[in-house]
Amino acid sequence: MNTKRIENVLNRTECDALLICDPAAIYYLINAHIYPGERFLGLLLKKDEAPKLFLNTLFPFEGRKGLEVVSYSDGDDITELLEQHIKKSDVLGIDKNLAARFLLPAIKKQIAADFTDGSLPVDQTRAIKDEEELELLRISSRINDEAMAIFKTLVYEGVKEQQIAAQMLDIYKKLGAEAYSFTPIVAFGKNAADPHHMPDDTKLQIGDAVLFDVGCVYHGYCSDMTRTFFFKQGPTDIQKKVYDLVRKANEDAEAYVKEGVRLCDIDKTARDVIEQGGYGKYFTHRLGHFIGIEDHEYGDVSAAFKDLTKAGNVFSIEPGIYDPQTLGCRIEDLVIVTKDGAEILNHYPHDIEIIG
């Protein structure tokens, strides 16, 4: 159990109690991986009380010093269970991911005086990584750099996206990672112009763009990087223009990062480059997302997110241009915010590279 993190969370909330249900948040707070499927899992935090974990008896759990475990069985009424541990007068902070099937009955039965989204204190605590976390994130991205250098050697004319993707997990494991941080994206040619393309039977052809958006998990911490290569032939002039815009957007944004700037302004830095280049409408997503135990954590680098960066924030910088007529291209790195700038976690170069 990480009492320091729990303390940080409780210091950030005005709720009387927080009911945390997200398995990743629970892992962060009590260092236990519990994935309850459709069953209820909850960590109840209150100031001056021991944390309580509501856990189905089906899941073996060896306990944690200072943690009270409230066991229940299939068939037990979860609302009644919670009612025994929450005061009717409490303002209850609810996990943002709590499913309606647990939340609606609790609201109808008024087991608390008010229900509010209680995830922000957890998210804000998680958004500032401690030294132990930063070191794991560095290693995870180092493995990802090494993996990228191997992935690019797997291509040959006619290979299918899926055939490349199928080899990646083994490569990560040999490099010391334990899992994917997300299903890898391998996109050839026009498929690279779909930012969420999933590897399919598309065969690689000479002149195709080859986009890898990949990441692994190392000791529970995620990496995430994208590079766009060209197969056997260099880009056309217009493709080169697109690539260079994306690269400049990435590098200008990374140079802008430091503690105390608005996240939306980092997004704007990259977006301005692409808009001024005439491709604004093809940059269809936010510039980046926070990352840590999960590939996507609370915190956006987007126009909508006006918070200031803090030292210890870790997020992606991933501008892209998705023009089906010309090129789909994304260049993504992870960065740690520092007092004076950014520590870029990915060292795989940004240069145009012809592979195969």
Query: What are the residues binding a copy of itself (CB under 8 A)?
Result: 37-38, 57-60, 74-75, 94-101, 103-105, 107, 115-117, 119, 194-196, 284-286, 296, 300, 302-304
Task: Find the radius of gyration of the CA atoms of the chain.
Answer: 23
CA distance 227 to 213: 7
Select 132 or 178, whichever has its Cβ closest to a copy of itself. Answer: 178
- Write down the least CB distance from residue 196 to a copy of itself, Å: 6
The answer to whether the beta carbons of residues 339 and 314 sit under 8 Å apart is no
- Write down the least CB distance from residue 35 to a copy of itself, Å: 9
- Write down the least CB distance from residue 240 to a copy of itself, Å: 26
- Write down the least CB distance from residue 215 to a copy of itself, Å: 14
Select 48 or 304, whichever has its Cβ closest to a copy of itself. Answer: 304
Side chain identity at residue 244, one-letter code: D
CA distance 189 to 235: 12
The answer to whether the beta carbons of residues 93 and 13 sit under 8 Å apart is yes
- Write down the least CB distance from residue 42 to a copy of itself, Å: 12
Select 93 or 356, whichever has its Cβ closest to a copy of itself. Answer: 93
Select 4 or 101, whichever has its Cβ closest to a copy of itself. Answer: 101
Task: Show Cβ contacts of residue 355 under 8 Å, excluding neighbours closer than 6 positions.
Answer: 152, 153, 155, 210, 229, 230, 231, 232
Q: How would you classify the pairing of strands 209-214 and 225-231? A: antiparallel
- Write down the least CB distance from residue 286 to a copy of itself, Å: 5
The answer to whether the beta carbons of residues 44 and 6 sit under 8 Å apart is no
The answer to whether the beta carbons of residues 211 and 187 sit under 8 Å apart is yes
- Residue identified by tokens 């005439």 is 278
CA distance 279 to 281: 6
Select 299 or 356, whichever has its Cβ closest to a copy of itself. Answer: 299
Select 60 or 158, whichever has its Cβ closest to a copy of itself. Answer: 60
